[in-house]
């Protein structure tokens, strides 16, 4: 039996779990753990400039790999700075473990220096948390934390480590559990056979089916099954913001993203469907619009790992609790015995209808002569990356443009804060992606508002040589806020403009990177080519775009899914 200090146990347990990268920031309560990290090379540490960014980096790492992201921070402010990052991961069901230092056990509750109740602070936004009270419990707590974070419906787990238990002066026996199980936690992974049969019957009967695919399909790596399902049934597929990439954006049966800024054809298809197969999607308010008017003709089959997501906002007719990949395997097994040759013919009218909606070409926009349109930037980005780049996004108009105008080919290629909508997420997320995939192209699509919420990480990028490409759509305003102010507040732009923008080119240069300013439409493609020619350097593209551009289509508030504005003047 190995004897070691609590701090060494933390690092040893991380190795045993298979952690290769930790994103963190040292401080008093975790100095012992940092000392243990110093002596080894298996677990690499990325030193951030702000702990919020550490959580987003671990998040980007997790989203792009499926592996659990790891954060290490000190007590008090170090821990509380991760809160937004933890909440972001929680809302999007991203596996993450946050190791936070804590003041020594005997001082807990005394308002000691840099003390906060991290387990309490994070309670509403974690899947679970541990306050470890004895050094010998460290391996077990860490093993359980990683198991919980990345099983069932994934999510963040906090492990709070008081300073006295990681003390390097005392040694304890280290035993890493060979098997982790909890009597109170057994996620149901396979669907109930009776529900599977009901789902199959409903799908076979359907004349206007649609697959509504969410982040759960990405989390359970169900892309192959989604594709097989779609093709067997000849059914149209729509993805949520979190589900983009679950099926290729260029697949002929893909009708686009659905929801508030979804395509007309996606929302029309949903609204007129007679059978919705929801796969790891949670019918959230940015999808459904008014739930009372939601898809009135459809039988809803809802497949989700989390029973609490089923019938939470919209009643499911056929609930199936289980992992998307496993449930689809079960449904596909049943379909083997069915004659599907008549499917294309049966759905002919449905597809005819869908193609009429597609003919409206809802994503068409007016090309500007003098000003660059944001949509064009994304199209140019697609062209210059062959559609293969990892695209991380911040939050706002640019996020919607990046979701709509860049057809994602693969799962985990599109990284964004869908649930919490965290500005400042994009750059650190793209850095986490780059750490996980050193040779790949990692791009962040951002705006002048979002990028300034974690811009200090440009320094981290230099230290670790992360050649992220920053595509900043600079409209000198908080674009999405401004759009709503235009639409709802008669153009009263209350505090949504930024009057003293930094010179982003000089800023990038000051941090040791390359900055490129783009002002005119005819400069865009050359600048984009230059940007991606710098393989090993971070390039900050500051692209001045049309300030008055809105994101369309857009659902009309309180309406049905397909009640939409198609442009500033046109409605459905």
Partner 1 sequence: MKRIISVLMENAPGALSRIVGVFSQRGYNVDSLCVAPTDDPSLSRLTIITHGDDKVIEQITKQVNKLIDVLKIVDLTENAHIERELMLIKVATRSEAVRAEVKRNTDIFRARIVDVHANNYTIEITGTTDKLDAFADTVGQCAEIIESSRTGVCGLARGERALRP
CA-to-CA distance for 554 and 535, rounded, in angstroms?
37
Q: How far apart are CB 23 and partner 1 at their closest, in Å? A: 24
Task: Return the residue of 178, 184, 352, 494 that touches partner 1, per CB under 8 A.
Answer: 184
- Output the CA–CA distances (angstroms, integers) from residue 69 to 83, 296, 432, 448, in the order listed: 15, 41, 9, 27
Q: Which is nearer to partner 1, 298 or 305 (CB)?
A: 305
How far, in Å, CA of 113 to CA of 156, rounded?
Answer: 26
Nearer to partner 1, 135 or 241 (CB): 135
Catalytic residue (one of 91, 480, 554, 564):
480
Query: HEC states along 399-417?
Result: HHHHHHHCCCCCCCCEECC
Contact residue for partner 1 among 44, 107, 128, 190 (CB under 8 A): 128
CB of 24 or CB of 154, closer to partner 1: 154
CA separation (Å) from 332 to 154, 197, 198, 217, 225?
Answer: 25, 11, 13, 15, 8
Give the C-alpha distances (Å, rounded to integers) separating 246 from 208, 270, 321, 544, 562. 21, 18, 20, 32, 23
Active site annotation includes 51 = yes
CA distances from 334 to 71, 201, 344, 482 (A): 43, 10, 19, 50
Active-site entry in 67, 114, 334, 530? 114
Residue 278 exposed, middle or buried by CB count within 10 Å (0-12, 13-18, 19+): buried
Compute the least distance from the CB of residue 117 to partner 1, in Å.
Answer: 10
Residue 420 makes contact with partner 1 by CB under 8 A: no
Is 541 one of the catalytic residues?
A: no
For 98, the token pair is: 């946050």
Between 307 and 344, whose beta carbon lies closer to partner 1?
307
For residues 95 to 124, the per-residue mask of contacts with partner 1, x marking binding by CB under 8 A and - elsewhere, is ------------------------xx--xx
Nearest distance from residue 140's CB to partner 1, in Å? 13
Is 192 a binding residue for partner 1 by CB under 8 A? The answer is no
Confirm whether 163 is a catalytic residue: yes
The nearer residue to partner 1, 185 or 351, going by C-beta atoms, is 185
Which C-beta is closer to partner 1: that of 293 or that of 312? 312
Closest distance to partner 1 from the beta carbon of 253 (Å): 33
Residue 322 Cβ vs partner 1, minimum distance, rounded to whole Å: 15
Please classify residue 508 by burial: count the beta carbons closer than 10 Å to its beta carbon, then call 0-12 exposed, 13-18 middle and 19+ buried.
buried
Q: How far is the CB of 392 from partner 1 (least distance, A)?
A: 29
- Nearest approach in angstroms of CB 125 to partner 1 is 9
User: Which residues are within 8 A (CB) of 217 and not within 5 positions of it... i.e. 6 or more apart?
Assistant: 223, 226, 243, 246, 279, 280, 324, 325, 411
Distance CA 145, CA 70 (A): 11
State which of positions 145-174 bind partner 1 (CB under 8 A): 148
User: Is 130 assigned a catalytic role?
Assistant: no
Nearest to residue 242, comparing CAs of 59, 480, 21? 59
A 10 A CB-CB count for 437 gives 15
Question: Which 308-327 positions form the footprint of partner 1 (CB under 8 A)?
Answer: 308, 311-312
**Binding residue for partner 1 (CB under 8 A) from 129, 399, 475, 485?**
129
**Residue in the structure block whose two tokens are 């693969």:** 410
Point out the catalytic residue in the list 4, 23, 102, 163: 163
Catalytic residues: 51, 113-114, 163, 480
Residues that bind partner 1 (CB under 8 A): 119-120, 123-124, 127-129, 131, 148, 182-185, 306-308, 311-312
């Amino acid at each position: 039996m190995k004897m070691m200090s609590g701090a060494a146990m933390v690092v040893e347990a991380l190795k045993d779990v298979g952690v290769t990268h930790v994103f963190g920031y040292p401080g008093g309560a975790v100095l012992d753990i940092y000392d243990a990290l110093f002596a080894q090379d298996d677990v690499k540490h990325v030193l951030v400039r702000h702990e919020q960014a550490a959580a987003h980096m671990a998040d980007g790492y997790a989203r792009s790999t499926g592996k659990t992201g790891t954060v290490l921070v000190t007590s008090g402010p170090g821990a509380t700075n991760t809160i937004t990052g933890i909440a972001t991961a929680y809302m999007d069901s991203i596996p993450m473990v946050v190791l936070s230092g804590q003041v020594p056990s005997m001082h807990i509750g005394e308002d000691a220096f840099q003390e906060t109740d991290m387990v309490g602070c994070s309670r509403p936004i974690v899947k679970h948390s541990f306050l470890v009270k004895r050094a010998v419990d460290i391996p077990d707590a860490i093993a359980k934390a990683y198991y919980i974070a990345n099983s069932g419906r994934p999510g963040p787990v906090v492990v709070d480590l008081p300073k006295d238990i990681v003390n390097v002066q005392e040694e304890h026996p280290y035993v890493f559990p060979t098997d982790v199980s909890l009597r109170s936690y057994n996620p149901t992974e396979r669907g109930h056979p009776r529900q599977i049969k009901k789902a199959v019957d409903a799908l076979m009967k359907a004349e206007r089916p649609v697959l509504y695919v969410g982040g759960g399909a990405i989390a359970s790596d169900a892309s192959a099954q989604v594709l097989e399902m779609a093709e067997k049934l000849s059914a149209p597929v729509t993805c949520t913001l979190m589900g983009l990439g679950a099926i290729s954006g260029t697949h002929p049966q893909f009708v686009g993203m659905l929801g508030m800024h979804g395509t007309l054809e996606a929302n029309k298809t949903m609204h007129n469907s007679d059978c919705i197969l929801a796969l790891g999607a949670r019918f959230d308010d940015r999808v459904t619009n008014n739930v009372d008017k939601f898809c009135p003709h459809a039988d809803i089959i809802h497949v989700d790992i989390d029973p609490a997501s089923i019938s939470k906002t919209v009643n499911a007719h056929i609930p199936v609790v289980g992992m998307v990949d496993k449930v689809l395997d079960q449904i596909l097994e049943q379909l083997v015995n069915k004659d599907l040759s008549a499917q294309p013919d049966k759905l002919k009218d449905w597809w005819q209808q869908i193609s009429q909606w597609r003919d409206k070409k809802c994503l068409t926009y007016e090309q500007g002569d003098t000003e660059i349109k944001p949509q064009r930037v994304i199209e140019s980005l697609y062209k210059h990356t062959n559609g293969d780049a990892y695209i991380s996004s911040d939050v706002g108009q640019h996020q919607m443009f990046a979701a709509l105008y860049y057809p994602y080919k693969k799962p985990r290629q599109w990284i964004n804060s869908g649930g919490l909508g965290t500005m400042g997420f994009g750059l650190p997320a793209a850095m986490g992606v780059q750490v996980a995939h050193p040779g790949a192209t990692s791009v962040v699509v951002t705006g002048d508002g979002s990028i300034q919420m974690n811009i200090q990480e440009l320094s981290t990028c230099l230290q670790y040589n992360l050649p992220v490409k920053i595509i900043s759509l600079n409209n000198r305003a908080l674009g999405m806020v401004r759009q709503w102010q235009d639409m709802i507040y008669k153009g009263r732009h209350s505090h949504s403009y930024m009057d003293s923008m930094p010179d982003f080119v000089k800023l990038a240069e000051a941090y040791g990177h390359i900055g490129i300013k783009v002002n005119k439409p005819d400069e865009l493609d050359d600048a984009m080519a230059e940007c991606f020619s710098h393989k090993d350097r971070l390039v900050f593209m500051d692209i001045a775009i049309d300030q008055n551009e809105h994101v369309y289509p857009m659902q009309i508030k309180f309406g049905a899914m397909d009640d939409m504005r198609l442009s500033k003047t046109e409605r459905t």
